[in-house]
Amino acid sequence: MEQDVFRMMMETLDTPVYVTDVETNKVLYANAALKKRMPVDPVGQVCWKGFHPGSSGPCSFCSASKPLDPKRILENVSVWDRLDVREERWYRHINRVLAMPDGRLVRFDIAFDVHDKVQGEVKLREQMAFYDQLIENSPVAIVISGLDGNIVRINQEFTRLFGYTLEEVRGKNVSALLAPEGLEKEAHTLRSQIAEGQRIHVETKRKNKLGQSIDVAVTGSPLLSANRLVGIQAVYMDISSRKEAEMEKARLEIQLIQAQKMEALGVLAGGIAHDFNNILGAIMGFGQMALMDAQKGIPKPHDIAQILKSAERAKQLVKQILMFSRRVSPELRLIQLNDVIRQSLILLERTLPKNVIIEQNLQPDLGLIHADPTQIDQIIMNLGTNAADAMPNGGVLRYETRMEQVEENRQYNGLKMNPGSYVVLRVSDTGCGMDDKTVRHIFDPFFTTKGVGKGTGLGLSTVFGIVKGHSGYIQCISKPGKGTIFDLYFPAQSGREEVCDIIVEPVLVNENDHRTILVVDDDPFIREFCQEILDRLGYHVITCESGEEAVQIYRSKQEPIDLVILDLGMPGMGGYACLQQLLKIDPHVKVLIASGYGPIGHSERAIEAGAKGYIAKPYRMEELNKAIQKILR
């Protein structure tokens, strides 16, 4: 009865079941599911001969080849040849050795069809191997860590870039390992953002095993499993070469701009010399008349006032030349374009031929732009001198400004413009104009339509570079015989204009202030001028003509010297060397640097060197007094 029930249960299964004699390996029983899969009835056959034709012995996985243990269940995976359809399928065999009532040992075997599962596992292993190769052979450094940032895996590019092997970094925190000094907080913040599910991309610095800093682009991504955060992947790309190239490009751009400035200054030199000669003529003329009248005892304050006005004109002209020719990186700030144009045209009007008429039409309520005033000044000068060259017989040069709203999909010179509000500068002339072929190349470096020795072709390429560097756009419209128009677009900005208001205070005579000031300058006229001014202001004055003499006087002084007014450009011991010697004698010495080089760069350097203040020559009496009072009070 029990055997019938067992047989009936086995026959209803769709899973192959068979029983073999452990001693002879002959099949004693096979259910219908197994017989259906076999070309012949396996009962009575040796199992490994019937199931695997050509085999020379029992299957290695079979319990028949193992020491007999009636209590062991062995689970094995093997290939079962389906000879009827000529294909292989995977089966998982569970077999057990049983003792029959008559004492015989038999092996009871159930073979589950796991072909699809095993094939899936094979494909999964193949995919894992594929992705493993992708990671390992990637040209970028990859590190995989847990949500806590502790490293689980790195690839060979990580080892090449940072110098660590997996054994050296496994379990270590990636942020603490790679972040240079000062960037620990940044690295921790980035890791926290990724651990919260964000994807990040930044350019920063990381350090290698030797502690050397490396410029890298970091892309961090969360790793998900079943929509659950399980880890962090960080990709590091070495951008050191790109950064070096960018720095070199920036350096060359500054050199290009400077070279163009020198070219422009050469063009302007004649006009500048003419203007200076006019100023000097006025100073000499009014000075001679004032001297003649003074010898007769006749005061002529009008003549003296004209001399001062002419000197002020010369001061402003020198200031503009220094600002235009300086070699510095752009200093962007909020400015009013109209103000820069008006100031630039003062110099331009003095340099262009008199038959070139300059007109202005500047919109009063113009928005602000984020720009470097000196570079905007250079644009105005370049376009103006180019226009004058195009009008050898004279004409009209016009500067106009306006506000314009730019919509989507607008392009200038192949560049798609960002929509928004723009401040527009239009520079137009009534010159000879250009054909379309020339217009297409005018912004190319070294392209010029001028003759040999009359231009380097750097002017308009520099203008293009400056406008682009200000996130702006430039367009040229020209026709032969119809003149030329340049439209320059600068993004409009909100905020307040960044200006420095200069307030000239009245000169106060310090009748009760008898403090001592040492004036150090190699120019006798400056020494005499300072002596006279400071005497009138109530100070006791000592003068000398060199840094060496100043150091000797200060070291052997019989009375306290409250302030030293020190020139920079002196022969022998220069101003900075003298300053350092004075500081060695007295670390608390108060020094006011006075120089004719202009404040650009020198004022910051003077303060860093230990001076208490800086004043640019030429200066008025009230300016000098204000600088002195600021230091002494």
> What CATH number does residue 381 fall under?
3.30.565.10
Looking at the fold, whether 24 and 154 belong to one and the same domain comes out as no
Contact (CB, 8 A) for 197 and 222: yes
Where does the pLDDT of residue 48 fall: very low under 50, low under 70, confident under 90, or very high at 90 and above?
A: confident
Looking at the fold, whether 309 and 419 belong to one and the same domain comes out as yes
Where does the pLDDT of residue 504 fall: very low under 50, low under 70, confident under 90, or very high at 90 and above?
A: very low
Domain boundary (493, 524, 555) is at: 493
Contact (CB, 8 A) for 399 and 337: no
> What CATH number does residue 573 fall under?
3.40.50.2300
In the block, tokens 């070309």 appear at 39
Looking at the fold, whether 485 and 346 belong to one and the same domain comes out as yes
Segments in 556-613 forming alpha helices (H): 575-585, 602-609
pLDDT at residue 129, rounded to an integer: 79
DSSP letters, 251-306, are HHHHHHHHHHHHHHHHHHHHHHHHHHHHHHHHHHHHHHHHHHHHHTT---HHHHHH
Distances (CA, A) of 74 to 6, 31, 95, 111, 279: 22, 21, 6, 12, 111
Structure tokens, 366: 């113009």
pLDDT at residue 422, rounded to an integer: 93
pLDDT at residue 457, rounded to an integer: 42
Q: What is the pLDDT of residues 203-254, one digit of tens each?
A: 999 999 999 999 999 999 998 887 888 899 999 999 988 888 888 877 777 6
Looking at the fold, whether 230 and 282 belong to one and the same domain comes out as no
Across 539-558, average pLDDT:
92
The answer for 86, left when phi > 0, alpha when psi is -120 to 50, beta otherwise, is left
> What CATH number does residue 229 fall under?
3.30.450.20
Please provide residue 449's backbone torsions phi and psi, each rounded to the nearest 5 degrees: -105, 0
- Report yes or no on 503 lying in a domain: no
For CA atoms 53, 58, 59, 60, give the dihedral sign.
negative
- What whole-number distance in Å separates Cα of residue 586 and Cα of residue 573? 18
DSSP letters, 371-388, are E-HHHHHHHHHHHHHHHH
Looking at the fold, whether 273 and 376 belong to one and the same domain comes out as yes
pLDDT at residue 501, rounded to an integer: 40
For CA atoms 252, 256, 257, 258, give the dihedral sign.
positive
Where does the pLDDT of residue 86 fall: very low under 50, low under 70, confident under 90, or very high at 90 and above?
A: very low
Higher pLDDT, 54 or 274: 54
Contact (CB, 8 A) for 26 and 44: yes
Where does the pLDDT of residue 127 fall: very low under 50, low under 70, confident under 90, or very high at 90 and above?
A: confident
Contact (CB, 8 A) for 28 and 43: yes
Looking at the fold, whether 440 and 302 belong to one and the same domain comes out as yes
- Report yes or no on 510 lying in a domain: no
Partnered with residue 106 across adjacent β-strands are 21, 98
Between 17-31, 252-266, 278-292, 582-596, the lowest mean confidence (pLDDT) is in 252-266
End-to-end Cα separation, the chain, in angstroms:
122
pLDDT at 260 over 50: yes
Structure tokens, 554: 């200060």
Residues 6 or more apart whose CB falls under 8 angstroms from that of 490 comprise: 337, 369, 371, 422, 423, 424, 425, 467, 470, 471, 472
Where does the pLDDT of residue 620 fall: very low under 50, low under 70, confident under 90, or very high at 90 and above?
A: confident
Q: Which residues span the domain enclosing 24?
A: 2-119
Candidates 42, 54, 46; CA nearest to 24 is 46
Looking at the fold, whether 342 and 487 belong to one and the same domain comes out as yes
- What whole-number distance in Å separates Cα of residue 557 and Cα of residue 534? 19
Between 126-135, 172-181, 333-342, the lowest mean confidence (pLDDT) is in 126-135
Contact (CB, 8 A) for 402 and 424: yes
Looking at the fold, whether 216 and 265 belong to one and the same domain comes out as no
Contact (CB, 8 A) for 200 and 220: yes
Which H helix or E strand runs over 351? Answer: helix 337-351
Which H helix or E strand runs over 151? Answer: strand 151-154
Task: Go through 221-246 and write b for each residue having 16 or more CB atoms within 10 A of its CB, e for each that does not.
Answer: bbbeeeeeeebbbbbbbbbeeeeeee
pLDDT at 157 over 60: yes
Structure tokens, 183: 């960037």
Please provide residue 425's backbone torsions phi and psi, each rounded to the nearest 5 degrees: -110, 120
- Report yes or no on 125 lying in a domain: no
pLDDT at 338 over 90: yes
Domain boundary (478, 493, 508) is at: 493
Distance of CA 100 to the CA centre of its chain: 84
Higher pLDDT, 169 or 320: 169
**Residues of the chain above pLDDT 70, percent:** 79
* 356 burial via Cβ count (<10 Å: 0-12, 13-18, 19+): buried
- Report yes or no on 585 lying in a domain: yes
Looking at the fold, whether 111 and 162 belong to one and the same domain comes out as no
Tally of structural domains, the chain: 4
β-pair type (395-406, 356-362): parallel
pLDDT at residue 87, rounded to an integer: 45
pLDDT at 113 over 80: no
User: If DSSP codes are grouped into helix, strand and coil, which group holds residue 248?
Assistant: helix
pLDDT at residue 451, rounded to an integer: 47
Where does the pLDDT of residue 361 fall: very low under 50, low under 70, confident under 90, or very high at 90 and above?
A: very high
Higher pLDDT, 290 or 541: 541
- Report yes or no on 258 lying in a domain: yes
Which H helix or E strand runs over 426? Answer: strand 420-429
Between 115-129, 332-346, 430-444, the lowest mean confidence (pLDDT) is in 115-129
User: If DSSP codes are grouped into helix, strand and coil, which group holds residue 96?
Assistant: strand
